[in-house]
Structure 1
Amino acid sequence: MHTVWKGTISFGLVNIPVKLHSATEDRDIKLRQLHKKCNNPIKYKKTCSHCNEEVKQEDIIMAYEYAPDKFIALDKDDLDKIKNEQEEKAVDIINFVKLEEIDPIYFDKSYYLSPGDGGSKAYALLRRSLSDSGKIGLAKIMIRSKEKLAVIRPYNNTLIMESIHYPDEVRSIGAVPNVPESVELSKKELDTATLLIDQLTEAFEPEKYTDDYRTALMELIQEKMAKEEGIEKKNQPDNVVDLMKALEESIKKTKPKKTTSPRKTPERKKA
């Protein structure tokens, strides 16, 4: 399993060397965009909105737009310094909370934690302590140049870390349009809805649920492959012939013309 981060988790005087691994993966079927004319993949170029020129990576600078069309340029060295200062810190567990106190809207991405060299005993200690107390650790970590708030909790026989959003990253519910504040509901309506919920209630078994759209899409792709309906890209664009013709015409036009010296009229002999 690929390691995305190495560091140390600390709580009190206990330091645990750990490795971070992505606990989830994107299983979406990736579709490519092709040029209908020649079946070649579409490329995307970075261009300047003012000059309309293609921009190379070395000609790009980072900046913050503090007002419309007004920017503060940020030097790469300054950004790297801040990044390095944060990455050098260990993951400090700030405090411990109950899992049910955190609403699911805050959760972002899950990672498995494995012990680093010499950290097995301390890892087991934290795992057992969290499990016995029914608490989870609240910590901060720097991942891919972004500081994240995270929770650390036991999951089966391992520790899992879940990055969570900061409060200012969660949009206000006041901005949600057309939400009814209070609506009168009859007892019969409530009883019927509650009965329906009870009838559809069962233990959560994640393996029962599948991505029906992804399955149907893959079946369609495999069906087309079986019928040999594949298409191949053309090795040469259709305009190659026209390009060669244009080059040949250009050569003809630029070819130096032969200069002919004017004919001399013979001189008449004097009588």
Structure 2
Amino acid sequence: MAPRANWKGFLRLSLVTCPVALYPATSESEKISFNQLNRQTGHRIKYVKVDADTGDEVPNEDIVKGYELEKGQYIEVSKDELEEIALESTRTIEIDEFVDRSDIDPRYLIRPYYIRPDGKVGHDAFAVIRETIREMDKVAIGRVVLTNREHIIALEPMDKGLVGTLLRYPYEVRSEEDYFDDIQEVKVTKDMLDLARHIVNQKAGRFEPEKFEDHYETALIELINEKRAGKVIQPKERPKGENVVDLMEALRRSVGKAAGKEAAPAKAGKPAKKPKKAAAGQKEMLMPIAGRKPAKEAAAKKPATGARRKSA
């Protein structure tokens, strides 16, 4: 069963229309998150909305939006006024044009959504639109209104559904000239390019996301588990950076390292650590924190010294 849709409406290509629903294609809910606590009591910090001048708490029904013209001077805009300027495309994704995927600058990509037919009707029309985009090997560009704002959306077929990616407007993308103009012009020699190409060829592969592990997330889980077990946390020694003096020598050493011919010398008396196996998914990584351990093992654990319990 699919999760709750973020948006429901219609997908339209000229006179062909079908009801559709949008679902977020990504999620960060499985990442470790923290609450802010009062160090003295261990209680959670609560935020309230207050009047900046009087300090009095303001209920939600008395809060309106305001655009600051100058310091302390605002133009108030009500919810009804914002709804009045909502466009006709509020409940329709209107396909305006078809473009090549290579035409879309990656800087314009924001976030992906899964799009599927909504309900039991409209599957035929949805399939026609999906297969037309697939056969033409194009990306459909349309418009959709989410959270009171109109967005550009790029539609591509994926399996039996569509993936819609929200796009930025030109005014949201900064010019690269502001950052790249002062980069020095450097002549790269053929020898350097040859060595660099050799490194690339040795590391060539296919993009497989499951191979990668969020090392910071893993470190957070280990830290929380250690504190829950009552262990004293000791700061780890940070690796020191190396100054590259000879670029050609660094490239040659990199070639040897990529080929497995050169390895960093291990410290005396300490065996080299085995590389960590890539995690299959964050849910599996979170299981230790969720406390899914045998009852005997859980009972044997001492209560964490660093943990706080909310007072009654």
Q: Return the TM-score normalized by structure 2.
A: 0.70
Corresponding residue of 1:206: 209
Distance 1:216 1:7 in 2: 42
Superposed, 1:20-169 pairs within 5 Å as 20-26=22-28, 27-83=30-86, 85-86=87-88, 88-117=90-119, 118-169=121-172
Runs (4+) of structure 1 exceeding 6 A deviation are: none
Matched AA of 2:118: G
Distance 1:234 1:87 in 2: 51
Deviation at 1:222, TM superposition (A): 2.8
More displaced stretch, 63-72 vs 205-214:
63-72
Pick closer, same or farther for the CA change 1:68–1:201 going to 2, 3 Å: farther
Task: Give CA deviations for 1:37-80 in whole Å, capped at 9, x if unaligned.
Answer: 11000112223333333333233221112334332111222112
Distance 2:90 2:105 in 1: 30
Pick closer, same or farther for the CA change 1:173–1:76 going to 2, 3 Å: same
Pick closer, same or farther for the CA change 1:13–1:160 going to 2, 3 Å: same
CA RMSD of aligned residues (A): 1.9
CA contact (8 A) 2:89 2:143 kept: no
Q: Return the TM-score normalized by structure 1.
A: 0.79
Pick closer, same or farther for the CA change 1:13–1:195 going to 2, 3 Å: same
Distance 1:184 1:3 in 2: 53
* Structure index of larger Rg: 1
Task: Give CA deviations for 1:195-214 in whole Å, capped at 9, x if unaligned.
Answer: 22222221111111121111
2:15 to 3, 13, 16: 13
More displaced stretch, 119-128 vs 74-83:
74-83
Quote the sequence identity (%): 32
CA contact (8 A) 1:4 1:20 kept: yes
CA contact (8 A) 1:86 1:142 kept: no
Determine if the alignment matches structure 1 residue 232 to structure 2 residue 234. Answer: no
Distance 2:213 2:160 in 1: 25
Deviation at 1:100, TM superposition (A): 1.2
Pick closer, same or farther for the CA change 1:34–1:81 going to 2, 3 Å: same
Distance 1:69 1:198 in 2: 60
Distance 2:191 2:55 in 1: 65
Matched AA of 1:100: S
Deviation at 1:116, TM superposition (A): 1.8
Distance 1:181 1:8 in 2: 51
Deviation at 1:25, TM superposition (A): 0.3
Corresponding residue of 1:174: 177
Distance 1:14 1:128 in 2: 13
Deviation at 1:220, TM superposition (A): 2.5
| Gapped regions of structure 1 (runs ≥ 5) | 236-271
CA contact (8 A) 1:108 1:164 kept: yes
| Gapped regions of structure 2 (runs ≥ 5) | 231-302
Task: Give CA deviations for 1:137-188 in whole Å, capped at 9, x if unaligned.
Answer: 0000001112111101012332111111111111122332774052222222
Matched AA of 2:60: Q
Distance 1:210 1:158 in 2: 28
Corresponding residue of 2:262: none
CA contact (8 A) 1:19 1:116 kept: yes
User: What SS does structure 2 have at the residue aligned with 1:176?
Assistant: helix
Matched AA of 2:138: K
Pick closer, same or farther for the CA change 1:6–1:220 going to 2, 3 Å: same
Distance 2:103 2:219 in 1: 39
Task: Give CA deviations for 1:90-138 in whole Å, capped at 9, x if unaligned.
Answer: 1100100011111211111111011123111111112211111110100
Corresponding residue of 1:3: 5
